[in-house]
C-alpha cells in the first residue's frame, strides 16, 4: 500500500478509536464476514472499509513470513538484497556476504522418519539460526534451505559465522533420534561475498543478486560433494 492509502487508514483509525475498543473482535474476521455485517447494517460503509484495509495489511504482512518457521521468506529476501545493494552503491556498506544453509540428508530424514519429524527439524534449525543471527537477516529460501545475509561482513568474518552455526547445529541435540540408522542433524553451508568495488561489473542490480546467490549455491554444492557438514566458499 502507498503512503496516501496508509494515511487514509490512519485517519480512519483515529475516527473509529472508540469503535475499535468495542469491536476489537472484528480483527479476526474474514473479508466475507465483514461484507455480511455490512449487508446486515451491523457495520457502516466507513467501518467496513477500515476493517477491510486492516485485513489487507495483515494479509500482506503474513505473506512475507514462512508459516512453518516464522522466518521471512523469498519475497522479503530479494527486497532486502536490493536494499543492501543500494547501500553498497551509496557507500553506506563496504561489502555484503550471503550464507546458504542446507540440512544434510534431509530427504532421508523425511522418508525414513516421516514429514512431521522433517518439519520439526526445519523448525529447530530455524530457531538456532534466529538465536544467533538477527532475525530480520534470516530467511527460509525453500524446502530445507535457509539464507542469511551479513551486511558489512568481510569474507573471513562471514566464514567464522558460518562455521560457528555449523558447529552449533552439529553439537546440539536437535531431536532425539531413536532410529539407529540416523546420526545427528548437520548442515552444509555455501558462502558468497560481494565488495562495493565489484558492483560496476553488473549492469543491473538483479544481476548482482543472481550472482551472489549462484555463487553461494555453487559453494553449497561443493560442500555436499566434499562430504557434507562443512563450509565452502563460492
**Which of 103, 62, 73 has the alpha carbon at shortest distance from 187?**
103
Query: Helix H segments across 133-234?
Result: 155-171, 205-225
12-31: per-residue pLDDT in tens? Answer: 555 544 444 345 555 567 77
Q: Mean pLDDT in the chain? A: 85
Please say if the pLDDT value at position 57 is more than 80. Answer: no
What pLDDT was estimated at residue 30? 76
In 3D, which of 223, 211, 225 has the Cα closest to residue 98? Answer: 211
Angle at 190 between CA 185 and CA 192, to 5 degrees: 155
Over range 42-70, report the average pLDDT.
77
CA distances from 119 to 5, 32, 143, 159 (A): 38, 32, 10, 27
Are 102 and 224 in contact by the 8 Å Cβ rule? The answer is yes
CA–CA separation, 175 and 124 (whole Å):
8
Domains of the chain, first to last:
3-62 (no CATH), 74-233 (3.30.70.270)
The length of the chain in residues reads: 234
127 flagged as catalytic:
no
d(C-alpha 195, C-alpha 197), whole Å: 5
Cβ count near 131 (within 10 Å): 11
Cell digits of residue 89: 552503491
- pLDDT computed for residue 18 by the predictor: 42
Q: Of 5, 127, 135, 144, which one is the catalytic site residue?
A: 144
**Which of 19-23, 74-78, 215-219 has the least mean pLDDT?**
19-23
**pLDDT for res 37:** 76
User: Highest mean pLDDT range out of 29-33, 108-112, 222-226?
Assistant: 222-226
Assign 142 to helix, strand or coil: strand
> What pLDDT sits at residue 19?
46
Q: Give yes or no for residue 133 having a pLDDT over 60.
A: yes
Sign of CA dihedral 215, 220, 223, 227: negative
Higher pLDDT, 183 or 11: 183
**162 or 54, which is more confident?**
162
For the residues 62-69, what does the mean pLDDT come to?
89
* C-alpha pair distances (Å), 120 with each of 72, 96, 144, 211: 18, 31, 11, 32
Amino acid at each position: 500500500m502507498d503512503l496516501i492509502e496508509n494515511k487514509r487508514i490512519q485517519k480512519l483509525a483515529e475516527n473509529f478509536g472508540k469503535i475499535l475498543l468495542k469491536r476489537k473482535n472484528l480483527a479476526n474476521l474474514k473479508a466475507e464476514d465483514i461484507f455480511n455485517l455490512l449487508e446486515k447494517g451491523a457495520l457502516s460503509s466507513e467501518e467496513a472499509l477500515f476493517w477491510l484495509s486492516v485485513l489487507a495489511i495483515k494479509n500482506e504482512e503474513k505473506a512475507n513470513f514462512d508459516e512453518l518457521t516464522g522466518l521471512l521468506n523469498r519475497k522479503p529476501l530479494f527486497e532486502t538484497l536490493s536494499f543492501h545493494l543500494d547501500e553498497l552503491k551509496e557507500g553506506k556498506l563496504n561489502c555484503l556476504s550471503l550464507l546458504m544453509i542446507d540440512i544434510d540428508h534431509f530427504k532421508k530424514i523425511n522418508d525414513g522418519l516421516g514429514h512431521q519429524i522433517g518439519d520439526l527439524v526445519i523448525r529447530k534449525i530455524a530457531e538456532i539460526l534466529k538465536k544467533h543471527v538477527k532475525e530480520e537477516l534470516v530467511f527460509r529460501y525453500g524446502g530445507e534451505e535457509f539464507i542469511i545475509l551479513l551486511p558489512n561482513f568481510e569474507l573471513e568474518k562471514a566464514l567464522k559465522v558460518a562455521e560457528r552455526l555449523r558447529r552449533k547445529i552439529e553439537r546440539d541435540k536437535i531431536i532425539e533420534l531413536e532410529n539407529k540408522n540416523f546420526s545427528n542433524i548437520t548442515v552444509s553451508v555455501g558462502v558468497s561475498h560481494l565488495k562495493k568495488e565489484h558492483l560496476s561489473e553488473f549492469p543491473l542490480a538483479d544481476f548482482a543478486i543472481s550472482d551472489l546467490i549462484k555463487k553461494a549455491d555453487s559453494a553449497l554444492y561443493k560442500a555436499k560433494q566434499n562430504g557434507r557438514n562443512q563450509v565452502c566458499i563460492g
